[in-house]
Structure 1
Amino acid sequence: MGPPDLQNAEENQARRQQAPSALCRKVLLLVPDGRFVLSHFKPLIAVLRECAGEVVVVTHASGQEAEIEALGTRVIDFSCQSSISASRQLASAWALARLFEAESPDAVHLVSADPIVLGCLALKLVPPIRVMLHMTGLGLLGKASGQLLRLYQRAALRIVGSTLAKPTSYVLVESADSLDLLRKVGADPGPRFAILGGVGVDPQAFTALPPPGNDIPVAAFVGRMLRRKGLGVLMQACDRLAARGERLQLDLYGESSDADPDAIPASEISAWCAHRSARWQASINDVREVWRQADFFVLPSLGEGMPRALLEAAACSRPLVVADAPGCRKFVRDGVEGFVVPSGSSAALADALQRMVRDPEGRERMGEAARLRVLQGFTQAHVGRSLKAAYLSLLGGAHG
């Protein structure tokens, strides 16, 4: 038996060699961050390994190379973060184009807004490659504030639109609203699209949980600490609730990243929590522990795909309070799995939170409905079948 590092490398190589290659030889998967790969896209990698002989993950690895390669992939450490600086964007696109040339993939799979914009720009610098645009949410492609960001948005949409106009492209979205928005701005994929139920969730891993039995109900937010997630609106709603004499504990889970211009600084989040019945935890080892302790899920996002956190909470039989954003309203039917409130309305959100606080039997009923909704079309198995069909369409003529 060889040294551990050599043995692990041989095992990973064996996994890659065992992968079937029914559709193509190699797929490059671009994801912004290695932690995002491990938290959200293990099922996607499993599907890609069924479609390609080799899957290469291009990401800012964040020290996660070994864990990602253990999934049967090869990892290239590369920052896929887009930039509103034209010179930086062009330099990154040039470097990515050279990577595409060196790897010579049959297809490139671009996940989320930054890799999509950067990848589409890089693809203009190389011979044609099939491309799968995987929109987990529109990010700055959907909403942008400030003149500079709006200029970036218009330029980025033109780049994406020109890519989607080609027959070698395919787009995955998480709601019909996202597809409609793309079409309105001229980025129309024609029939080359699929609408996914997010990344899906494994209902065997996220099982139905009994109500936690808290004396004071606990609402949990799980996600990145971004302004577009509606956290300011949530704080205002909690203030309204407190003024009414209602008791609610708010737990926030998620990181604040200095690299994202939309991120809320950690100092601001801490200040929010210090003056309210709220707690913030930047990292979570096992998100199932959140749903063992929380009574319901809250996400007042101003724009969203299909949040994984929402699906995980629903699978654990937790009711949902969400804003009327595309992915959220696709899943939550008002009064069935939870409540849907107008985006940006702290008054409406406070009313919905109050209804949750006052109705434990309703919480349990809506939580049961939420899990049933997951089982009816939002599991990893459902999403996997849609992904395979999309790749069959994109790569049907690539093998042989």
Structure 2
Amino acid sequence: MKKILQVCAIDRSVESLLYPLIEKLMDEGYEVHTACSDTGRFDVLTAKGLTLRSIPIKRKIDPISNLGTIGALYRLMKREKYDVVHVHTPIAAVLGRVAARLAGVSHVIYTAHGYFFHEGMSKSTYQMYYTLEKWFARHMTDYLLLQSREDYELSVQDGFSSKTERILHIGNGVDLTERFQPRHVTREKVQSIKSSLGLQDDHVVITYVGRMVSEKGIFELLEAFRKLAGEFPRLRLLLVGDVSSSERDQRGQNFVELCRQHPQIILAGFRTDIPELMATSDIFVLPSHREGLPRSIIEAMAMAKPIVATNIRGCREEVRDGVNGFLVEPKQVSPLYAALKKLVVDSRLREAFGQNSRSIALEHFDERTVLAKQAALFAQLTGQLREEREQEKGGSGEDWTRREHSSFP
């Protein structure tokens, strides 16, 4: 049985981002381990059948801690002899690739869920992170997978790999047929959630789902909502997420305290019932400063919600301004307030944008397509597809991986 190691910073990333891929790989016969920090979700994930390895991974540059992480990952990789190491999230991806190279792992894959450098940075900061990402992509990575098309095009144009064909655009998606299917959330379930959150049927609910950190635009959102709340007493802001102790940015603690003081803001904390929460919502908002190809927007689109997001990489690949939502400039309160107000006052516009969101999600953001692309690459690298085809064809020895997946050299 071929062995794969997934590496990311924390267990919540496994739960929110990686679980569908891990489940698919396990279903296809791979032994999959995941190395990350345990922040309290290990028991839940283990109960789902995942094999987890607790490796402390700080989400910031800390030389002593980072070296310790590299050492722990190196020892794990040498002991388990993985066929493929697949890394995610900025710091964990760097440390994981260093450990994989030292351990002599044959195939190292990096999925960039969104490059850390972005257009909102100063020129010098952008250049520093750009240079680091490019160097690690060229010298420590065998295959570079990009969720955002903008990231993909930049990587190809700027030569992030000496072999351009090893830079692959995989996109992002969710389960559109079962989990994120509006018809599957009953009226009774919606009423139950509304009751638990103190919501009434005549409330207009703006929902945010994500980390409580300043780069998500939460402080601009709070200021914009305060203005709206003064005009619309029946308006509510539902905040889903919390502040992890592993975050570099702990200003979210102050944000949460400010929100607790506002009678029209609901702090739901960390939740896993996202489809049901989306079903109780009227508008979804993500005022981020930096994104890759945000899954939260796709989840809201799949549940037929209108979107207000910032005009940045990733978000503008999902939101078509004036079609399924509005795009506003990042770090600015007034445009965010104005866009939200347009949707708050116009239920017909919310409905039209929401239906367009669902249609766009069905066309472009199906999780099955994203998973199939990655599964094909793993089959190519491990020879699993060759073995299966040879069994089907009586061991003819023909290179089926090359014929069916020629995009994976």
Normalised TM-score (structure 2) = 0.80
What amino acid does structure 2 have at the position aligned with 1:198?
A: N
- Which of 326, 344, 350 in structure 1 is aligned with 2:331? 344
Partner-residue secondary structure (3-state), 2:95 = helix
What amino acid does structure 2 have at the position aligned with 1:177?
A: E
What amino acid does structure 1 have at the position aligned with 2:20?
A: P
Equivalent residues in 2 for 1:248-397, closer than 5 Å: 248-275=235-262, 277-395=264-382
Displacement after TM superposition at 1:247 (Å):
6.1
For structure 2, the residue ranges without an aligned partner over 5 or more in a row are: 192-199, 388-409
> Mean alpha-carbon deviation: is it higher for 88-97 or for 189-198?
189-198
Backbone CA RMSD of aligned residues: 3.2
> Mean alpha-carbon deviation: is it higher for 367-376 or for 174-183?
174-183
**1:149-189, CA deviations, whole angstroms, 9 ceiling, x for partnerless residues?**
8898467436523435x5xx112221122234556876346
**Structure 2: distance between partners of 1:285 and 1:172:** 26
- Which of 79, 83, 90 in structure 1 is aligned with 2:56? 79
**Structure 2: distance between partners of 1:276 and 1:113:** 37
What amino acid does structure 2 have at the position aligned with 1:229?
A: K
Displacement after TM superposition at 1:366 (Å):
0.9
Partner-residue secondary structure (3-state), 1:201 = coil
Equivalent residues in 2 for 1:82-231, closer than 5 Å: 82-138=59-115, 140-142=116-118, 153=129, 156-157=132-133, 160-163=136-139, 169-182=142-155, 187-188=160-161, 190-208=164-182, 214-231=201-218
**1:12-34, CA deviations, whole angstroms, 9 ceiling, x for partnerless residues?**
xxxxxxxxx5xxx1111112222
**Structure 1: distance between partners of 2:60 and 2:290:** 21
> Mean alpha-carbon deviation: is it higher for 352-361 or for 150-159?
150-159
Partner of 1:55: 32
**Structure 1: distance between partners of 2:6 and 2:146:** 16
User: Is the contact made by 1:220 and 1:253 (CA closer than 8 Å) also made in structure 2?
Assistant: yes
User: Is the contact made by 2:219 and 2:255 (CA closer than 8 Å) also made in structure 1?
Assistant: no
In the alignment of these two chains, the number of paired residues is 373
What amino acid does structure 1 have at the position aligned with 2:70?
A: A
Equivalent residues in 2 for 1:35-46, closer than 5 Å: 35-46=12-23
**Structure 2: distance between partners of 1:381 and 1:113:** 25
User: Is the contact made by 1:84 and 1:149 (CA closer than 8 Å) also made in structure 2?
Assistant: no
What amino acid does structure 2 have at the position aligned with 1:238?
A: F
> Mean alpha-carbon deviation: is it higher for 281-290 or for 45-54?
45-54
Displacement after TM superposition at 1:262 (Å):
2.2
Partner-residue secondary structure (3-state), 1:125 = helix
**Structure 2: distance between partners of 1:387 and 1:93:** 25
Partner of 1:18: none
Distance 1:365 1:154, change over 3 A: closer
Distance 1:153 1:262, change over 3 A: farther
Displacement after TM superposition at 1:130 (Å):
0.6
Normalised TM-score (structure 1) = 0.82
**Structure 2: distance between partners of 1:343 and 1:194:** 28
**Structure 2: distance between partners of 1:286 and 1:350:** 27
Partner of 1:238: 225
Instruction: State the percentage of identical aligned residues.
Output: 27
Partner-residue secondary structure (3-state), 2:375 = helix
User: Is the contact made by 1:157 and 1:185 (CA closer than 8 Å) also made in structure 2?
Assistant: no
Distance 1:313 1:81, change over 3 A: same
**Structure 2: distance between partners of 1:122 and 1:238:** 45
> Mean alpha-carbon deviation: is it higher for 361-370 or for 150-159?
150-159
**Structure 2: distance between partners of 1:245 and 1:236:** 15
Displacement after TM superposition at 1:245 (Å):
6.5
Distance 1:274 1:143, change over 3 A: farther
User: Is the contact made by 1:41 and 1:199 (CA closer than 8 Å) also made in structure 2?
Assistant: no
